[in-house]
Amino acid sequence: MARHYNLRLRGGPRSTTTRWGKALVWVVIVFVVSTYVVISNSGSDQYRLPIFQWLLGDFFGDNSETSQYTQNGNMTWEQIQKIRVNHLVRACQGLNLNQTVDAVVRKHILVDTRHKVLMCFVPKVACTSWKRIWFWLAGLLEEDENIMDLTRSQVHGKFLPTLSSVKFVERERLEFLATYKKFLFTRHPLHRLISAYRDKLEHIDKESNFDFHKHVGQEVESMMRGKVTGGHNITFQEFIRWVTPPNGTWTMAQQNEHWRPIVELCAPCAIQYDAVGRYENFQHDANETLYWMGAGELADRFPPPDRAFHASQQLQKYESSLTSQDKLQFLRTYLLDFLLFGYDMP
Protein backbone atom coordinates (compact mmCIF):
# COMPACT_ATOMS: atom_id res chain seq x y z
CA MET A 1 0.00 0.00 0.00
CA ALA A 2 1.45 3.35 -1.00
CA ARG A 3 2.13 5.99 1.60
CA HIS A 4 -0.18 8.99 1.23
CA TYR A 5 2.36 11.76 1.75
CA ASN A 6 4.90 12.93 -0.76
CA LEU A 7 7.95 13.28 1.48
CA ARG A 8 10.01 10.11 1.30
CA LEU A 9 12.47 9.52 4.10
CA ARG A 10 12.96 5.77 3.85
CA GLY A 11 16.21 3.91 3.53
CA GLY A 12 17.65 2.32 0.40
CA PRO A 13 18.03 -1.34 -0.55
CA ARG A 14 18.71 -3.84 2.24
CA SER A 15 22.42 -4.16 3.01
CA THR A 16 24.37 -6.90 4.72
CA THR A 17 25.61 -6.52 8.29
CA THR A 18 29.18 -6.25 7.04
CA ARG A 19 28.40 -3.41 4.67
CA TRP A 20 26.48 -1.61 7.41
CA GLY A 21 29.38 -2.03 9.80
CA LYS A 22 31.82 -0.42 7.37
CA ALA A 23 29.53 2.33 6.10
CA LEU A 24 27.45 3.17 9.18
CA VAL A 25 29.44 6.23 10.24
CA TRP A 26 29.10 7.82 6.79
CA VAL A 27 25.44 6.85 6.56
CA VAL A 28 24.81 8.53 9.91
CA ILE A 29 26.66 11.67 8.82
CA VAL A 30 24.69 11.90 5.57
CA PHE A 31 21.44 11.23 7.40
CA VAL A 32 22.16 13.84 10.06
CA VAL A 33 22.88 16.46 7.41
CA SER A 34 19.75 15.65 5.38
CA THR A 35 17.58 15.48 8.50
CA TYR A 36 19.01 18.78 9.70
CA VAL A 37 17.73 20.37 6.48
CA VAL A 38 14.29 18.79 6.92
CA ILE A 39 14.01 19.97 10.52
CA SER A 40 15.21 23.45 9.60
CA ASN A 41 12.48 23.75 6.98
CA SER A 42 9.88 22.56 9.48
CA GLY A 43 10.64 25.38 11.91
CA SER A 44 11.46 22.83 14.63
CA ASP A 45 14.86 24.26 15.58
CA GLN A 46 14.62 23.30 19.25
CA TYR A 47 14.39 19.57 18.43
CA ARG A 48 17.50 19.18 16.30
CA LEU A 49 20.22 18.38 18.79
CA PRO A 50 18.42 15.91 21.11
CA ILE A 51 17.39 13.66 18.19
CA PHE A 52 20.93 13.64 16.83
CA GLN A 53 22.39 13.03 20.29
CA TRP A 54 20.20 9.95 20.71
CA LEU A 55 21.10 8.63 17.26
CA LEU A 56 24.84 9.16 17.79
CA GLY A 57 24.86 7.94 21.38
CA ASP A 58 26.62 4.69 20.51
CA PHE A 59 29.51 6.69 19.00
CA PHE A 60 29.88 9.55 21.47
CA GLY A 61 28.58 8.18 24.76
CA ASP A 62 25.42 8.63 26.77
CA ASN A 63 23.09 11.53 26.09
CA SER A 64 22.40 14.24 28.59
CA GLU A 65 18.81 14.55 29.66
CA THR A 66 16.94 16.99 27.41
CA SER A 67 13.87 19.09 28.02
CA GLN A 68 10.66 17.75 26.54
CA TYR A 69 8.19 19.57 24.37
CA THR A 70 5.59 18.65 27.01
CA GLN A 71 7.19 20.94 29.61
CA ASN A 72 5.14 24.08 29.25
CA GLY A 73 5.51 25.66 32.69
CA ASN A 74 2.38 27.25 34.10
CA MET A 75 0.60 27.91 30.84
CA THR A 76 -3.10 27.20 30.52
CA TRP A 77 -4.41 24.30 28.48
CA GLU A 78 -5.61 26.76 25.84
CA GLN A 79 -2.15 28.34 25.58
CA ILE A 80 -0.52 24.93 25.29
CA GLN A 81 -2.95 23.95 22.55
CA LYS A 82 -2.13 27.09 20.62
CA ILE A 83 1.57 26.18 20.73
CA ARG A 84 0.97 22.58 19.66
CA VAL A 85 -1.43 23.44 16.86
CA ASN A 86 0.79 26.26 15.55
CA HIS A 87 3.79 23.94 15.62
CA LEU A 88 1.82 21.34 13.65
CA VAL A 89 0.79 23.88 11.03
CA ARG A 90 4.33 25.25 10.67
CA ALA A 91 5.82 21.77 10.36
CA CYS A 92 3.34 20.78 7.65
CA GLN A 93 4.04 23.96 5.74
CA GLY A 94 7.80 23.76 6.18
CA LEU A 95 7.92 20.14 5.03
CA ASN A 96 5.45 20.82 2.22
CA LEU A 97 3.55 17.62 3.00
CA ASN A 98 0.73 16.71 0.65
CA GLN A 99 -1.73 14.45 2.46
CA THR A 100 -5.24 13.24 1.70
CA VAL A 101 -8.13 12.08 3.86
CA ASP A 102 -8.08 8.54 2.51
CA ALA A 103 -9.90 5.39 3.61
CA VAL A 104 -7.41 4.65 6.39
CA VAL A 105 -7.82 8.13 7.87
CA ARG A 106 -11.62 8.10 7.61
CA LYS A 107 -11.72 4.78 9.44
CA HIS A 108 -9.83 6.32 12.37
CA ILE A 109 -11.97 9.44 12.83
CA LEU A 110 -14.80 9.07 15.33
CA VAL A 111 -17.87 11.26 14.83
CA ASP A 112 -19.99 12.82 17.58
CA THR A 113 -22.88 14.68 15.97
CA ARG A 114 -24.35 15.69 19.34
CA HIS A 115 -21.31 17.74 20.39
CA LYS A 116 -20.14 18.32 16.80
CA VAL A 117 -16.69 16.87 17.41
CA LEU A 118 -14.33 14.60 15.48
CA MET A 119 -11.51 12.60 17.05
CA CYS A 120 -8.77 10.68 15.28
CA PHE A 121 -8.15 7.66 17.50
CA VAL A 122 -4.67 6.12 17.56
CA PRO A 123 -4.13 2.55 18.81
CA LYS A 124 -1.80 2.40 21.82
CA VAL A 125 -2.73 5.96 22.74
CA ALA A 126 -5.60 5.14 25.12
CA CYS A 127 -7.94 4.61 22.19
CA THR A 128 -9.92 1.90 24.02
CA SER A 129 -10.72 4.33 26.84
CA TRP A 130 -11.68 7.04 24.35
CA LYS A 131 -13.88 4.62 22.43
CA ARG A 132 -15.65 3.58 25.63
CA ILE A 133 -16.50 7.16 26.53
CA TRP A 134 -17.55 7.80 22.93
CA PHE A 135 -20.52 5.47 23.55
CA TRP A 136 -21.76 8.14 25.97
CA LEU A 137 -20.77 11.05 23.75
CA ALA A 138 -22.51 9.64 20.69
CA GLY A 139 -25.63 8.74 22.68
CA LEU A 140 -25.28 4.99 22.15
CA LEU A 141 -25.42 4.48 25.91
CA GLU A 142 -27.17 6.53 28.57
CA GLU A 143 -24.90 8.21 31.09
CA ASP A 144 -26.22 6.00 33.88
CA GLU A 145 -25.11 2.88 31.97
CA ASN A 146 -21.68 1.50 32.80
CA ILE A 147 -19.34 1.72 29.82
CA MET A 148 -16.96 -0.70 31.52
CA ASP A 149 -19.55 -3.43 30.97
CA LEU A 150 -18.77 -3.24 27.27
CA THR A 151 -16.53 -6.02 26.02
CA ARG A 152 -13.45 -5.14 24.01
CA SER A 153 -14.99 -6.72 20.92
CA GLN A 154 -17.97 -4.36 21.34
CA VAL A 155 -15.73 -1.36 21.95
CA HIS A 156 -13.65 -2.04 18.83
CA GLY A 157 -16.58 -3.26 16.73
CA LYS A 158 -18.68 -1.31 14.26
CA PHE A 159 -21.03 0.36 16.71
CA LEU A 160 -19.26 3.71 16.89
CA PRO A 161 -19.78 6.08 13.94
CA THR A 162 -16.65 7.02 12.02
CA LEU A 163 -16.07 9.22 9.02
CA SER A 164 -16.15 6.07 6.88
CA SER A 165 -19.58 4.95 8.15
CA VAL A 166 -22.10 4.33 5.38
CA LYS A 167 -24.68 6.32 7.36
CA PHE A 168 -22.90 9.50 6.23
CA VAL A 169 -22.93 10.77 2.66
CA GLU A 170 -19.93 12.58 1.20
CA ARG A 171 -21.53 15.99 1.66
CA GLU A 172 -21.91 15.33 5.39
CA ARG A 173 -18.33 14.12 5.73
CA LEU A 174 -17.02 17.29 4.13
CA GLU A 175 -19.26 19.39 6.37
CA PHE A 176 -17.99 17.58 9.48
CA LEU A 177 -14.39 18.20 8.49
CA ALA A 178 -15.07 21.86 7.76
CA THR A 179 -17.22 22.81 10.76
CA TYR A 180 -16.75 20.34 13.65
CA LYS A 181 -14.11 20.63 16.36
CA LYS A 182 -11.30 18.17 15.66
CA PHE A 183 -8.68 16.67 17.97
CA LEU A 184 -6.28 13.75 18.37
CA PHE A 185 -4.01 12.34 21.05
CA THR A 186 -0.36 11.49 20.40
CA ARG A 187 2.33 9.46 22.12
CA HIS A 188 6.11 9.30 21.93
CA PRO A 189 6.84 7.08 18.89
CA LEU A 190 9.33 4.82 20.67
CA HIS A 191 7.10 4.43 23.74
CA ARG A 192 4.14 3.62 21.51
CA LEU A 193 6.09 0.88 19.72
CA ILE A 194 7.33 -0.59 22.99
CA SER A 195 3.76 -0.65 24.27
CA ALA A 196 2.53 -2.32 21.06
CA TYR A 197 5.32 -4.90 21.23
CA ARG A 198 4.63 -5.73 24.87
CA ASP A 199 0.87 -5.91 24.35
CA LYS A 200 0.73 -7.85 21.09
CA LEU A 201 3.92 -9.91 20.90
CA GLU A 202 5.65 -10.16 24.26
CA HIS A 203 2.37 -11.00 26.01
CA ILE A 204 -0.66 -12.95 24.82
CA ASP A 205 -3.82 -10.95 24.14
CA LYS A 206 -6.46 -13.57 24.90
CA GLU A 207 -9.34 -11.15 24.23
CA SER A 208 -8.29 -10.20 20.73
CA ASN A 209 -9.95 -11.83 17.73
CA PHE A 210 -6.67 -11.38 15.85
CA ASP A 211 -3.82 -13.77 16.62
CA PHE A 212 -0.80 -11.44 16.57
CA HIS A 213 1.66 -14.26 17.23
CA LYS A 214 0.40 -16.17 14.22
CA HIS A 215 -0.12 -13.34 11.75
CA VAL A 216 2.64 -10.99 12.92
CA GLY A 217 5.07 -12.99 15.01
CA GLN A 218 5.50 -15.68 12.39
CA GLU A 219 6.06 -13.08 9.67
CA VAL A 220 8.75 -11.44 11.83
CA GLU A 221 10.40 -14.83 12.30
CA SER A 222 10.28 -15.57 8.59
CA MET A 223 11.75 -12.21 7.58
CA MET A 224 14.28 -11.84 10.39
CA ARG A 225 15.35 -15.47 10.94
CA GLY A 226 14.43 -17.23 7.74
CA LYS A 227 12.35 -19.82 9.61
CA VAL A 228 9.06 -20.00 11.51
CA THR A 229 8.72 -21.57 14.96
CA GLY A 230 5.40 -20.18 16.20
CA GLY A 231 5.95 -16.44 16.60
CA HIS A 232 5.95 -16.45 20.42
CA ASN A 233 9.51 -15.37 21.24
CA ILE A 234 10.12 -12.33 19.05
CA THR A 235 12.68 -9.92 20.49
CA PHE A 236 12.13 -6.16 20.54
CA GLN A 237 15.11 -5.65 18.25
CA GLU A 238 13.63 -8.07 15.71
CA PHE A 239 10.30 -6.27 15.95
CA ILE A 240 11.89 -2.86 15.37
CA ARG A 241 13.90 -4.13 12.40
CA TRP A 242 10.79 -5.76 10.94
CA VAL A 243 8.52 -2.74 11.36
CA THR A 244 11.05 -0.38 9.74
CA PRO A 245 11.99 -2.17 6.48
CA PRO A 246 14.90 -0.44 4.74
CA ASN A 247 13.73 -1.49 1.28
CA GLY A 248 10.79 0.92 1.41
CA THR A 249 8.00 -1.63 0.97
CA TRP A 250 5.56 -2.77 3.64
CA THR A 251 3.38 -5.83 4.08
CA MET A 252 -0.14 -5.53 5.47
CA ALA A 253 1.12 -6.73 8.86
CA GLN A 254 3.87 -4.11 8.89
CA GLN A 255 1.21 -1.45 8.30
CA ASN A 256 -0.96 -2.59 11.21
CA GLU A 257 -2.61 0.35 12.96
CA HIS A 258 -0.97 -0.47 16.30
CA TRP A 259 2.44 0.66 15.02
CA ARG A 260 1.63 2.59 11.86
CA PRO A 261 2.89 6.20 12.18
CA ILE A 262 0.30 8.60 13.59
CA VAL A 263 0.85 10.96 10.67
CA GLU A 264 -0.53 8.26 8.37
CA LEU A 265 -3.54 7.39 10.54
CA CYS A 266 -4.68 10.98 11.14
CA ALA A 267 -3.35 13.03 8.18
CA PRO A 268 -2.60 16.14 10.29
CA CYS A 269 -1.43 18.05 7.21
CA ALA A 270 -4.76 17.50 5.46
CA ILE A 271 -7.04 17.98 8.47
CA GLN A 272 -6.82 21.16 10.54
CA TYR A 273 -6.93 19.80 14.10
CA ASP A 274 -7.98 22.25 16.80
CA ALA A 275 -6.43 20.41 19.75
CA VAL A 276 -3.61 17.91 20.26
CA GLY A 277 -3.65 15.91 23.49
CA ARG A 278 -0.73 13.91 24.81
CA TYR A 279 -0.58 10.47 26.37
CA GLU A 280 2.29 11.72 28.54
CA ASN A 281 -0.11 14.07 30.31
CA PHE A 282 -3.18 12.02 29.62
CA GLN A 283 -5.59 12.54 32.51
CA HIS A 284 -5.24 16.31 32.48
CA ASP A 285 -5.40 16.61 28.70
CA ALA A 286 -8.36 14.23 28.46
CA ASN A 287 -10.38 16.11 31.06
CA GLU A 288 -9.59 19.48 29.52
CA THR A 289 -10.55 18.13 26.10
CA LEU A 290 -13.92 16.96 27.40
CA TYR A 291 -14.64 20.41 28.86
CA TRP A 292 -13.52 22.00 25.58
CA MET A 293 -15.88 19.85 23.54
CA GLY A 294 -18.84 20.59 25.81
CA ALA A 295 -18.91 17.32 27.75
CA GLY A 296 -17.27 18.42 30.98
CA GLU A 297 -19.74 16.36 33.02
CA LEU A 298 -17.82 13.26 31.86
CA ALA A 299 -14.38 14.58 32.79
CA ASP A 300 -14.10 12.75 36.12
CA ARG A 301 -15.62 9.58 34.67
CA PHE A 302 -12.93 8.87 32.11
CA PRO A 303 -12.35 5.09 32.11
CA PRO A 304 -8.96 3.60 32.97
CA PRO A 305 -7.11 1.57 30.33
CA ASP A 306 -7.99 -2.11 30.08
CA ARG A 307 -4.34 -3.13 29.93
CA ALA A 308 -1.82 -0.41 30.63
CA PHE A 309 1.65 -0.93 29.18
CA HIS A 310 3.73 1.98 30.45
CA ALA A 311 6.72 1.83 28.15
CA SER A 312 8.55 4.69 29.84
CA GLN A 313 8.98 2.60 33.00
CA GLN A 314 11.07 0.02 31.15
CA LEU A 315 12.51 2.19 28.41
CA GLN A 316 16.15 1.34 29.08
CA LYS A 317 15.47 -2.39 28.90
CA TYR A 318 14.15 -2.16 25.36
CA GLU A 319 16.22 0.73 24.02
CA SER A 320 19.49 -0.90 25.08
CA SER A 321 18.84 -3.75 22.64
CA LEU A 322 18.95 -1.36 19.65
CA THR A 323 22.11 -0.65 17.67
CA SER A 324 22.85 2.65 15.94
CA GLN A 325 21.67 1.04 12.70
CA ASP A 326 18.35 0.14 14.36
CA LYS A 327 17.98 3.68 15.72
CA LEU A 328 18.77 5.17 12.33
CA GLN A 329 16.12 3.12 10.54
CA PHE A 330 13.58 3.70 13.31
CA LEU A 331 14.12 7.45 13.21
CA ARG A 332 13.83 7.56 9.43
CA THR A 333 10.56 5.62 9.54
CA TYR A 334 8.94 7.68 12.33
CA LEU A 335 10.64 11.00 11.64
CA LEU A 336 7.40 12.76 10.70
CA ASP A 337 5.76 11.79 13.99
CA PHE A 338 8.75 13.28 15.82
CA LEU A 339 8.73 16.50 13.81
CA LEU A 340 5.00 17.16 13.54
CA PHE A 341 4.19 16.40 17.17
CA GLY A 342 7.34 17.83 18.73
CA TYR A 343 8.82 14.75 20.38
CA ASP A 344 12.48 14.26 21.28
CA MET A 345 14.35 11.01 21.69
CA PRO A 346 14.99 10.18 25.37
> How high is the pLDDT of residue 153?
87
**Distance between CA atoms of 216 and 77, rounded to whole angstroms?**
39
- pTM equals 0.80
User: Contact, 346 vs 54, CB < 8 A?
Assistant: yes
> How high is the pLDDT of residue 209?
63
> How high is the pLDDT of residue 228?
85
Q: How many CB atoms lie within 10 A of CB 313?
A: 10
> How high is the pLDDT of residue 288?
96
> How high is the pLDDT of residue 250?
86
Angle between helices 17-42 and 324-341 (to 10 degrees): 20
Q: Smallest Cα–Cα separation from 183: which of 111, 234, 244, 252?
A: 111
Instruction: Kindly report, residue by residue over 14-71, the tens digit of the pLDDT.
Output: 333 444 344 444 444 445 545 554 455 444 444 444 555 555 454 434 433 333 344 4
Mapping DSSP onto H, E and C, the string for the chain reads CCCCCCCCCCCCCCCCHHHHHHHHHHHHHHHHHHHHHHHHHHCCHHHHHHHHHHHCHHHHCCCCCCCCCCCCCCCCHHHHHHHHHHHHHHHHHHHCCCCCCCHHHHHCEEEECCCCEEEECCCCCCHHHHHHHHHHHCCCCCCCCCHHHCCHHHHCCCCCCECCCCCCCHHHHHHHHHHCEEEEEECCHHHHHHHHHHHHHHCCCCCCCCCHHHHHHHHHHHHHHCCCCCCCCCCHHHHHHHHCCCCCCCCCHHHCCCCCCHHHHHCCCCCCCCEEEEHHHHHHHHHHHHHHCCCHHHHHHCCCCCCCCCHHHHHHHHHCCCCHHHHHHHHHHHHHHHHHHCCCCC
> How high is the pLDDT of residue 275?
98
**Distance between CA atoms of 232 and 298, rounded to whole angstroms?**
40
Contacts 24+ apart (CB under 8 A), 49-52: 50/344, 50/345, 51/331, 51/338, 51/344, 51/345
> How high is the pLDDT of residue 9?
36
> How high is the pLDDT of residue 108?
98
**Count of domains observed in the chain:** 1
In b/e form, how buried is each residue of 31-64, taking b as 16+ CB within 10 angstroms?
A: beeebeebbeebbbeebeebbbbbbbebeeeebe
* Ranges under pLDDT 70 in the chain: 1-73, 205-210, 248, 305-313, 346
- C-alpha Rg value of the chain to the nearest Å: 20
> How high is the pLDDT of residue 211?
74
Angle between helices 236-243 and 189-197 (to 10 degrees): 120
For residue 31, give its domain range: 1-346
